[in-house]
């Protein structure tokens, strides 16, 4: 008995000795990722600034859960994920700054967790470089602290693809499958159609022999997408009707080459619709052309290092994620491609480290100088575009707030209704409901607006060069900046 107890103790000590260094390495491997996430959060708070007012789409998502603003019209393409994400703050506080801090902290934590999923598949230095590349893009920094879905689809894509590859590497482990479920559900929770496009390569790979992966993917899609489907039947007449309406709002999905539109948006245009005007300076768009070249180089490096599948899969998922936004819609927004950028960051990081370490002698020095110059140029371009984008959005949102203040002086105070030009954002800043009798946000009729005017303050806004609707033409006209404001006669 004594010998047996001694043997058990000795075995336990050997296990502790074996696990100790591994645990230490695991802690050290996570620390750089945590530092990266912390820097990402700090950069958002410093460069984007928490005082930035809410944008148009943010207002739609946030107003669904606030108690101090009427809910804006919620159109067919949207999903409720962002509303639930902001609910812990927006449901009780009007502070935009507090909401920005909340989202910045969540985005940093999400980036850290997403990169952790890939540990064991790639060295820590590659994961840190991949995360740094993705986090340094102006579109990532700008939208990280905003109530928008695309960053969260990108994070969910990293989580789902990483979990999928970890399960393939160790099919006996069930943990990665739950990671697949979580990442896929997060994507579908935010944008169900985007989630489907991202996981197409994973579904194809799972059809043959990996039934558990297939179950995890479909389960995640169902967990995140079922609320959207239920709402389709409750509010839009069915799933087919909602998909058709979403397609109509997006200009009719089909064969439309939007590559040039995406290029135009890289200069900092949040929404390029219609996407006209000149292209940004080639210095601003250069990284967009270098990105696929680096990704291909990363794949070549992976083939030599026998990491082909774990590099090819995120490349394939990035391609399917980008496909509808490059070739199926008639407009562009840089945030649409965030999931593709996140997935491409892995092979790009491999390529960068290859250029730094693989060459010998003078070529190694040349490679390091080239990478250093590229990184410096990349950061300069991204931060310049970010600063320009932030300044422009600060100005536009201050204009909305000033217009709302002028409306208050005209007697348009809550409860009230705003219709016409930019009714959704101006109505939110004024504390009013918003209404539209036509267009993508149609939610009322002229007769209903006139009935509302008989009991509440109502104003109709007309933009530069616009014509007022027939029901508002007899109303007194006021001018606020470039806007003409027609105010309904006071009730009674």
Residue carrying the six token digits 């005017």: 453
Query: What does the pLDDT profile of the chain (492 residues) look like in tens digits?
Result: 444 444 433 443 443 343 333 434 455 678 999 999 999 999 999 999 999 999 999 999 999 999 889 999 999 999 999 999 999 999 999 999 999 999 999 999 999 999 999 999 999 999 999 999 999 999 999 999 999 999 999 999 999 999 999 999 988 887 899 999 999 999 999 999 999 999 999 999 999 777 899 999 999 999 999 999 999 999 999 999 999 999 999 888 888 899 999 999 999 999 988 888 889 999 999 999 999 999 999 999 999 888 899 999 999 999 999 999 999 998 999 999 999 999 999 999 999 999 998 777 778 888 889 999 999 999 999 999 999 999 999 999 999 999 999 999 999 999 999 999 999 999 999 999 999 999 999 999 999 999 999 999 999 999 999 999 999 999 999 999 999 999 999 876
Residue 480: what are its φ and ψ, rounded to 5°?
A: -125, 100
Q: Which of 194, 189, 167, 193 is nearest to 178 (CA)?
A: 167
CA of residue 238 relative to chain centroid, distance: 27
Give the pLDDT confidence score for residue 54 in this predicted structure.
97
Question: What value, to the nearest 5°, has the Cα angle with vertex 90 and ends 85 and 93?
Answer: 150
- H-run or E-run covering 285: helix 282-304
Cβ burial, residue 422 (10 Å; 0-12/13-18/19+)? middle
Q: Where are the domains of the chain?
A: 26-358, 394-487
Quote the CA–CA distance of 221 and 232 in Å, as a whole number.
Answer: 16
Q: The tokens of 249 are what?
A: 């709002």
Quote the CA–CA distance of 360 and 341 in Å, as a whole number.
Answer: 30
DSSP state letters, 353-395: HHHHHSS-THHHHHHHHHHHHHHHHHHHHHHHHHHHHHHHHHH
Quote the CA–CA distance of 381 and 439 in Å, as a whole number.
Answer: 37
Q: The tokens of 355 are what?
A: 């250029």
Helices and strands: H and E segment counts in the chain: 18, 5
Q: The tokens of 142 are what?
A: 């700008």
Hey, is 432 helix, strand or coil? coil
Quote the CA–CA distance of 77 and 254 in Å, as a whole number.
Answer: 16
Quote the CA–CA distance of 129 and 132 in Å, as a whole number.
Answer: 5
6-40: buried (b, 16+ CB within 10 Å) or exposed (e) per residue?
eeeeeeeeeeeeeeeeeeeeeeebeebbeebbeeb
Q: Which of 382, 391, 389, 364 is nearest to 132 (CA)?
A: 382
Quote the CA–CA distance of 484 and 409 in Å, as a whole number.
Answer: 15
Q: Are 224 and 192 in contact (CB under 8 A)?
A: yes
Angle between helices 308-327 and 192-206 (to 10 degrees): 140
The reported pTM is 0.93
Give the pLDDT confidence score for residue 492 in this predicted structure.
67
Quote the CA–CA distance of 159 and 346 in Å, as a whole number.
Answer: 13
210-248: buried (b, 16+ CB within 10 Å) or exposed (e) per residue?
beebbebbebbbebbbebbeebbeeebeeeeebbbbbbe
Question: What value, to the nearest 5°, has the Cα angle with vertex 132 and ends 42 and 291?
Answer: 135
Quote the CA–CA distance of 371 and 87 in Å, as a whole number.
Answer: 42
Give the pLDDT confidence score for residue 287 in this predicted structure.
96
Give the pLDDT confidence score for residue 316 in this predicted structure.
97
Give the pLDDT confidence score for residue 82 in this predicted structure.
98
Cβ burial, residue 411 (10 Å; 0-12/13-18/19+)? exposed
Give the pLDDT confidence score for residue 27 in this predicted structure.
55
Residue carrying the six token digits 């390091």: 368
């Amino acid at each position: 008995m004594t010998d047996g107890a001694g043997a058990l103790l000795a075995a336990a000590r050997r296990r502790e000795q074996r696990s100790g260094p591994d645990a230490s390495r695991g802690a050290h491997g996570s620390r750089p990722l945590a530092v990266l996430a912390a820097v990402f959060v700090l950069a958002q708070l410093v460069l984007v600034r928490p005082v930035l007012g809410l944008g148009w789409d943010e207002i739609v998502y946030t107003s669904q859960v606030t108690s101090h603003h009427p809910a804006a019209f919620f159109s067919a393409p949207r999903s409720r994920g962002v509303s639930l994400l902001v609910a812990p703050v927006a449901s009780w506080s009007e502070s935009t700054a507090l909401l920005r801090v909340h989202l910045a902290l969540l985005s940093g934590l999400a980036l850290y967790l997403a990169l952790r999923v890939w540990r064991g598949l790639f060295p820590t230095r590659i994961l840190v470089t991949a995360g740094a590349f993705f986090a340094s893009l102006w579109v990532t920094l700008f939208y990280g602290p905003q109530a928008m879905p695309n960053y969260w689809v990108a994070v969910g894509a990293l989580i789902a693809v990483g979990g999928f590859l970890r399960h393939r590497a160790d099919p006996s482990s069930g943990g990665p499958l739950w990671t697949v479920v979580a990442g896929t559900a997060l994507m579908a929770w935010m944008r169900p159609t985007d989630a489907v496009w991202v996981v197409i390569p994973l579904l194809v790979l799972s059809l043959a022999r990996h039934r558990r992966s297939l179950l995890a993917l479909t389960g995640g899609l169902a967990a995140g997408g079922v609320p959207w489907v239920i709402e389709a039947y409750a509010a839009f007449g069915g799933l087919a009707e909602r998909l058709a309406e979403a397609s109509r709002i997006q200009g009719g999905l089909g064969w439309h080459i939007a590559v040039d539109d995406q290029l135009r948006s890289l200069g900092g245009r949040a929404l390029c619709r219609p996407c006209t005007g000149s292209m940004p300076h080639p210095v601003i768009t250069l990284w967009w052309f270098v990105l696929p070249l680096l990704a291909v180089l990363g794949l070549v490096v992976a083939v030599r290092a026998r990491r082909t599948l774990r590099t090819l899969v995120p490349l394939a998922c990035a391609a399917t994620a980008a496909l509808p936004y490059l070739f199926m819609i008639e407009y562009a927004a840089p945030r649409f491609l965030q999931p593709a950028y996140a997935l491409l960051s892995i092979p790009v990081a491999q390529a960068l480290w290859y250029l730094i370490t693989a060459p010998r002698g003078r070529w190694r020095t040349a490679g390091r100088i080239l990478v250093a110059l590229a990184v410096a140029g990349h950061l300069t371009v991204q931060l310049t575009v970010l600063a320009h984008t932030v300044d422009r959005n600060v100005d536009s949102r201050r204009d909305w707030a000033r217009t709302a203040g002028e409306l208050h002086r005209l007697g348009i105070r809550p409860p009230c209704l705003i219709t016409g030009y930019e009714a959704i954002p101006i109505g939110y800043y004024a504390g009013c409901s918003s209404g539209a009798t036509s267009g993508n946000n149609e939610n009322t009729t002229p007769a209903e607006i006139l009935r509302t005017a008989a009991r509440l303050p109502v104003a109709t806004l007309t933009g530069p060069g616009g014509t007022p609707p027939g029901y508002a033409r007899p109303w007194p006209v006021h001018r606020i900046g470039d806007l003409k404001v027609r105010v309904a006669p006071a009730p009674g």
